Amino acid sequence: MNEEANKITNVDDIYDEVSDWHVNTGGIKIVAKRLAGRFRRLKWFGMSIWLVFFLGPYLRWNGAQAILFDLPNRQFNFFHITVYPQDIWMLSLTLLFFAILLAAVTSIAGRVFCGYFCFQTVWTDIYTLIEAKLEGNTPQKATKFNNSPWSFDKLVRKVTKHSLWLAIALLTGVSFAAWFTDAFKLWYDYFTLQAPLPAWIVLGMFTAGTYGFAGFMREQVCFWLCPYARLQGVMYDQDTILPSYDAERGEPRGKLKKGQHQQSKGSCVDCNVCVAVCPTGIDIRKGQQEGCITCGICIDACDSIMDKTQQPRGLIRYASYKELHHNAKTVPLYKRPRVIIYSLILLTALSGVIYGFANLSPTEFKVVHDRQPVFVRLSDGSIQNKYTVKLLNKTKEVMTLRFSIEGLEGATLHGLNEMTVEPGKVIPVTALVRVPDEQLNKSLVPIIFKGKVLTNSNITVRYKSMFIGPK
């Protein structure tokens, strides 16, 4: 380092945009004011969807859990349907559906998921509700409470808050685990301390995660952990409607003096209520930014102020870039290429899943031709091929099958006649096929293995394999 080192520089002198550098990295605790309104109601509605997460595992169907991700047995039970890993492609399509749904909704109406449905938003909202009730619902009250000396009242409030948080976190953990094992037995096992280790690990992780993320990290997760905030830019276009501040109408902002009429000033009275209610603590008037989860709470706040100041509502409203900037004509939904493409993908994925569920095979039947050796000449000159026949029974009943072969003249089946397979089990059996040499005039002949299920006359399994000979 030279002698000039450690000279103190004021960054503001070097860069103009320095004021935008100041982001809240957790140093400022956001205490959002709660106001009633349209979007607040919408948020409650979105949040209520999560009741399914808590209550779903207790649904019963035919004496078993209706929806169960049975990992140890590698099956997914959905009412009377059982899905095996072989049908995993349906999961891919389901995931594709939801991924594209996210993109489609985002391109139409912004981060709807973030604002109304995301677990981070929902759990944080509940946690902050509890906190606000106990410690004060404005930043001033909260700071005063936290800076006050320890008293019995403060202790009770703190203990109550953390107990409630932990209770919700625990319930979240149990509810998650309950989707993967019998819910009622799980509760019993947790209370009798007999739950298996993975159940404890899941409970521990979800409790710690919920408590930490919703209790302490809150909007910081949206800012710095979640990739969605960073991806939103590629999902939006100028037709996307977002909660936006109408700067044209609002500026120049300024305080409204009593009795004075708005003349030279814009509609914004600079009351900062939109900032005070924001759960992520941003200022919507700065425009679109990564911290905005598009929950619309600021719209409610601004509308209430507009009502009070006898101005028309909608200074902050769901509006597209084009609408605010009058730079182009708004394109209707059905003419927007990305909406059309997203819809097509959604439709394809959904049809695939519906097709998959409607055509779930009761079995998985495979015939694998042995490669070492590909064929063997027997003492009478005939050619023998060896196959491994595998049958997975996906039904809930024991299955007995009788096998036969088709498609190759003179071929006889040996070593495989009848097979009994328990539900959910797969049995490999060696099958030998013999063909007299003179009846084989090609080196590769298709051969069909057919298994007729004796226990259920509706099911016949078929598999096309190949018979390989020397010619």
Partner 1 sequence: MADNKNNPNQVSDTGHEWDGIKELNNPCPRWWLNSLWLSGLLVIVYFILYPSLPLVNESTKGLLGWTMIKEYKEDLAKVEAKRAPFEDKLAAMTAEEILADQEMLNYAIGSSKVLFGDNCAACHGTGGAPAEGAGYPNLSDDDWLFGGSVNDIMMSIAKGRAGMMPAHEKLLNTDEVDQLVKFVVDSSNGIQNEAGMALYTSKGCFACHGADAKGIKAMGSANLTDKIWRFSGDEDQIRHTILHGVNDASDPQTRVAVMPQWSEKLAIMLQVRADAIADDEDPNDIDWSDELEGDEGERLTETEIKKLAVYVHQFGGGQ
Evaluate the omega torsion of the peptide bond into residue 446 and state whether it is cis, within 30 degrees of 0. no
By beta-carbon proximity to partner 1, the closer residue of 360 and 374 is 374
Distances (CA, A) of 288 to 78, 324, 332: 41, 12, 22
**Which residue's CB is nearer to partner 1, number 19 or number 457?**
19
Tell me the three state secondary structure of residue 374: coil
Is-contact 59 66, C-beta < 8 A? yes
**Which one of 9, 260, 263, 359 is in contact with partner 1 (CB under 8 A)?**
9
Q: Which is closer to partner 1, CB of 267 or CB of 385?
A: 385
Nearer to partner 1, 351 or 388 (CB): 388
Alpha helices in 110-237 (DSSP H): 112, 119-135, 139-147, 152-178, 183-191, 197-212, 219-220, 228-235
Quote the tokens at residue 305.
């102020």
Smallest gap from residue 382 Cβ to partner 1 (A): 9
**432 interacts with partner 1 by CB under 8 A:** yes
Q: CB nearer to partner 1: give 315 or 433.
A: 433
Q: Considering only 176-184, 231-239, 427-435, 453-461, which stretch makes contact with partner 1 by CB under 8 A?
A: 427-435
Rule CB under 8 A: choose which of 48, 92, 430, 455 binds partner 1: 430
Q: How far is the CB of 427 from partner 1 (least distance, A)?
A: 7
Q: Please report whether residue 423 would count as binding partner 1 according to CB under 8 A.
A: no
313, 414, 462, 464: residue in contact with partner 1 (rule CB under 8 A): 414
The length of the chain, given as a count of residues: 471
Q: Please, what sign has the CA dihedral across residues 368, 373, 378, 382?
A: positive
Q: Scanning residues 355 to 394, which ones bind partner 1 (CB under 8 A)?
A: 370-373, 376-381, 384, 386
User: Is 7 among the residues that bind partner 1 (CB under 8 A)?
Assistant: yes
Pairing of strands 376-377, 363-369: unpaired
Helix/strand/coil for 337: helix
Judged by DSSP in three states, 329 sits in coil
Stretch binding partner 1 (CB under 8 A), from 7-15, 231-239, 400-408, 458-466? 7-15
**Category of 381 on φ-ψ map: left (φ > 0), alpha (ψ -120 to 50) or beta:** left
Binding mask 16-45 for partner 1 (x = CB under 8 A): --x---------------------------
CB of 273 to partner 1, least distance (A): 27
Select from 45, 237, 21 the least CA-distant residue to 122. Answer: 45
Binding residues for partner 1, rule: CB under 8 A, are 1-12, 14, 18, 370-373, 376-381, 384, 386, 414-415, 427-430, 432
